[in-house]
Each structure stands twice: as C-alpha cells, then as structure tokens.
Structure 1
C-alpha cells in the first residue's frame, strides 16, 4: 500500500476502481509528467449523487458530493500511475462544475469539499489552483463534476 493510500485508509477511505468513461473519451491522458483526468461525476456506492444546489440540495450536501468526485479523481490518477499512487507529485488544478440555480452563489464552498479532502489526504501535494463554476445542468442530473490536472513522477 502506498504512503498516500495508507493516509487515505487512516481517513477511512478506500479508493474504488477507476470509473470507466461513459461516452467516447478516455478517463485520463498523460503528457510527460502531467496527467489530465476527465471530469468525474458525483457518485458513491449507492449510485449517482444527483440534485441542484439552491433548489433541492444544500451546500453541505454538495461539498460531500464534491469529495466523492475527488476520490474518483485519485482513483484515476492511481490507474494512470500503474497502481502506484506514490508516483503522484502534486495536484496542479481542479475545475469544478456545480449544478446550481441561477441565483446560487456558493459554488466555491461546494468545491471546497474536493479541495479540503485532497489537502487532508495529500498534505502540501494536495494544494492546487482551482475554478468553481455554476452549470445549468450536468450529465445524468448529477450535482457535481470535477476534472483535474496532476503531476506525477
């Protein structure tokens, strides 16, 4: 088990198998030491986490859904690294899309669910640049979608 995975286990988190793409794209692309991970939608063991922030979902529920996206992002990075998550050098950037109403303005607090998780799990390697934007709708009605850029060795 990698050092990062040991830390995740201490947090009660086991990385799932990397989710398969749902359409005509690949889950990640490696260019040199950079891994670009396709958007990961909010889901857990029970299935998709759906909802619209500002309508039928609270900011706290959205942050929990964003955390699940971050777990899927790490699962993709682990797959890109041939199963060795310790090849991860740092999280470079996240772009978070929040399914929200036109008057909802707490997108950054929602995406903090992913950011806070990555910093807790990875320490300084989890600190990243970020965008958090509203979306009128997301695929399959999910609450959150987050894509990421990661540096590996």
Structure 2
C-alpha cells in the first residue's frame, strides 16, 4: 500500500513510474548518512518522451517549462522511492538545483523551476520547502527544456 506522501500525490493525479536508467556512467542516487543525493532528472514522461524540448524564451513558454520542471520533480521522487522504498522516509527536501535550457535573454528561470518546487511542497508540506538554485544553460541532454537534481534528508 502506498504511503501518505504517495496518497497525496495520487489525489493530485500524480503517479510515480519506474525511475529512468542513467544515460551514462553514473547512478540515479547516492545515500551518504542521512542525505540522499539524486542525480539530475530531465523532463521525460513515463514513456520517455520529453515534456518540453528546446529553449525557454525561444519556442518553449514559461507554462511549458513549469510543466517540464514538475515532470523533473516526479522523476526525482521516483528515484527517492527506488532508494528508500517509501517517500514517507523523507525528513526534508534540502535543496533543488534547476538547469533551464534558455535563450540568452531569458530571465524567468525561477518561474519555471517553481514547477518542481511547488510539487515538493504539495508532496511534503512544510518539509518540502527547500533551498534552491536556478541556472540558465546553453543546452541540456536530448535538448530537454529542464533538468533538476536534489538533496533530501532521509530517515
């Protein structure tokens, strides 16, 4: 049976799929003590198709970017579930790092990354509030619009 966090997500229509296999020589997550470091997750859906492809500010809208960041958040949580077996073992979301595939003059990366941040608060309440960095980048793997990595405190 799904834990409390997964039930909250399901009530919002969000289900977790099997985490994606890493694309190169790295692992999806590493636990060190009570910290879980989750590798960057691109904005792919359950079928592996990108939710948004291309550059924010040059064909991809803020709304599409927000949805893509939310998809990255779902993929992060899938990795956490694979690592811990239960999202209820998350003590706190410590940090999100967001990478926004951006046109040089795109300045609204923080609005895009809110898709992942809002998801963490939806899932974990106040324990989902976190430190955050948002960086505009020239490109991402497979021309994904967004990639997000994370650090979680876990029990």
Tell me the TM-score normalized by structure 2: 0.95
Q: CA deviation at 1:58?
A: 0.3
Residue 133 of structure 1: how far off its partner (Å): 0.7
Residue 35 (structure 1) aligns with: 36
Shift of 1:109: 0.2
How far does residue 45 in structure 1 lie from its aligned partner after superposition? 3.4
For residue 104 of structure 2, the aligned residue among 102, 110, 113 is: 102
- State how far apart, in whole Å, the 2-side matches of 1:102 and 1:84 are: 40
User: What RMSD in Å do the two structures reach over aligned CA positions?
Assistant: 0.8
Matches within 5 A, 1:34-113: 34-46=35-47, 47-49=49-51, 50-81=53-84, 83-113=85-115
What 5-or-longer segments of structure 1 have no aligned partner? none
Q: Secondary structure at the match of 1:43?
A: coil
CA contact (8 A) 2:17 2:46 kept: no
Q: Secondary structure at the match of 2:147?
A: strand
TM-score w.r.t. length of structure 1: 0.97
Distance 1:125 1:22 in 2: 30
The answer for unaligned runs of 5 or more in structure 2 is none
Partner of 2:117 in structure 1? Answer: 115
